[in-house]
Amino acid sequence: MNQTTLNSSQSRVTRFAFILGTITAFGPLSIDLYLPALPSIAKQFRAEMGVAQLTLSVFLIGMMAGQSFYGPLADRFGRKRPMLFGSTLYTLASIGCALSASIGSLILMRLAQAIGGCAAQVIPGSVVRDSFDPKESARMYSMLMLVMGLAPITAPLIGGQLLVFFGWRALFWFLAGFGLLCLTLVTFCLPETLPVERRDTTSLTQTLVVYKRLLSDRRFVGYALTGGCVSAAMFAYIAGSPFVFIDLYGVKPQNYGWIFGVNAFGLIAAAQVNRRLLKHYRGDVILSRMLVVIAVSGIALAIIASSRKFELAGLLPPIFVCVAGAGFIFPNSAAAAMAPYGQVAGRASAMLGTLGLAVGASSGILVGLLQNGTALPMCGVMALCTISALTVFRTMARRPSRQLTSQPS
């Protein structure tokens, strides 16, 4: 490969990473931006904290349900048109959130926002699968995490400042502006990666057959649930941390983002280390090692929370390891699950996301149901999820060798 071709290839990868990473930030930005405002929203609408947390849980449920809808659309109509529809719906729903007059209407608008935004969770994975081989796909997912990882770092910081100076409604006006930005990127910068001759024309019945095939593939489900259980630990942290940090330990809302941002930075850094490791080691070997690390950290977190002898500083190190460790888990589990399904990448990506969010949404709800005025519900659910991820990987997904076997780059 000559230098001109190499530079062109690198430029293409960088452009894809920027566009797709920005689009994929719909999810984390929509969740993380308003986390510091949850106590304020509960107070304004005179709702219990558990009810206010439903605005998070219903968002996750909407994301989960909508993905099975966008997968077949992306395989039938290409990648751009469903993404344009989703971006438009997300923008309008964000405006609806900003104008909500009750907690009920806010929950409803959050559901619509999720159904629009979940297009950004399905379609970028399909674009990556269209454009790169399995090994390069794993590296590309790691690059996407570098770009989209700016959202969980900056979102709580931005959200905290907007909350202090303009109130919680400003957060959703900000999200409406972000939706408009993504709509512009999709319209003018995202190429169509699924040619007409490769588009799927199967019926609804045949689509259901594909979903049945995916769900009957033990390996696919194993990798999907491995990533899903780690996502569930993340969602338990996301759902519980506003109460634990702000209400329980007295962290100011505008400072909450700094703690959240440090953990998010760990996630990004881990994803980039993973990208380099993939030049030398198999993805399932990296998965196996890191799942043990985060499971041990999850257990330590639950023990620390149950003892009640530690301040916030005692919880932060194991939380950091659990969150950062996800940077090794997500790219490798997604690439391994998607590898055999190039012809139905849209539906495979949708099912991958649906399974992951099904587990994730349940963990957020569980944290709310177990709320007892301590950090134990959040920490205990995180421990349960990390242990489950390791168990599922070892029993359902590919079993790695005992040696850290190298592979050619």
One-letter amino acid at 339 equals A
CA separation, residue 139 to residues 271, 327, 409 (Å): 9, 12, 12
Model pLDDT, residue 204: 61
Give, in degrees to the nearest 5, the angle at Cα 258 between 257 and 263.
95
pLDDT in tens, 382-403: 999 999 999 988 888 755 433 3
Model pLDDT, residue 148: 63
Whole-prediction pTM: 0.66
Model pLDDT, residue 201: 67
Residue 406: φ, ψ to 5°: -80, 160
Count of Cβ atoms closer than 10 Å to residue 84 Cβ: 16
Instruction: List helix spans (H) across 102-168.
Output: 103-117, 119-131, 134-148, 150-166
The ranges of the chain with pLDDT < 70 are: 1-13, 50, 133-139, 141-143, 145-153, 200-204, 342-346, 398-409
| Burial (Cβ within 10 Å: 0-12, 13-18, ≥19) of residue 269 | middle
Annotate 308-355 with DSSP letters as a single string: ----HHHHHHHHHHHHHHHHHHHHHHHHHHHTT-GGGHHHHHHHHHHH
Look up residue 135 and give its two tokens: 């090994």
179, 183, 163: which is closest to 171 by C-alpha? 163
Model pLDDT, residue 400: 41
Length of the chain: 409
